[in-house]
Each structure stands twice: as C-alpha cells, then as structure tokens.
Amino acid sequence: MSSPLSDLRELLAGRSAVAGRVVSMANGTVRVATAQGVVEVALDGSGNVGDRVAVRDGRAIRVQEAVEVPVFFV
C-alpha cells in the first residue's frame, strides 16, 4: 500500500515510472506523450508509434498490452 506523500517524493525525485504513448521515433530516441507533457527519451528494445510505454530514468520500456479476453455471461 502506498501513501500519497511517498508517491509525491518518488515523482519529485524522478524514480517513479510515467506511462505514455510513443508519438514519434528517430535515431533510437522516441517522443512520448504523457500526462505531464511530451518527453524525449531512449527506447529500450523495439517498438512502434502508438505503443504504450513506461518512462523511467530517461528510458522508455514497452508495456505489454492487455490481451483481449472473451466475456461469458451466465
């Protein structure tokens, strides 16, 4: 369980991961649109424009998209 104060400390220290979407790619760097604005970081691994990523320590890491699961009504 996290507390708002510790979450704020992590955000201010830059240790917290920020989620976003890749909006452009060029020469191994990507621009990621986040709730805090657009950031330009290095991409770990492969990816495409539109991918969801987590940004942490100046690097973007692709986030596994949720797999569509069939819904059954009983």
Nearest Cα neighbor of 34 from 17, 15, 14, 47 is 17
Task: Provide the residue type at 19 as one letter.
Answer: A
- The whole-number pLDDT of residue 47 equals 84
Extract the tokens encoding 36: 């805090």
Q: Where are the alpha helices (DSSP H) in the chain?
A: 4-13
Assess contact for 55 and 63: CB atoms under 8 A.
no
Looking at residue 1, its pLDDT comes to 53
Give per-residue pLDDT as tens, 5-57.
877 777 677 666 788 999 999 988 999 998 888 999 998 888 889 989 988 88
**Superfamily covering domain 17-62:** Nucleic acid-binding proteins (2.40.50.140)
Phi, psi values for residue 38, rounded to 5°? -90, 130
> What's the rounded mean pLDDT across residues 57-68?
77
pLDDT, residue 56, reads: 83
pTM of this structure: 0.65
**Single-letter amino acid code for the residue at 67:** V
Whole-number pLDDT of residue 25? 92
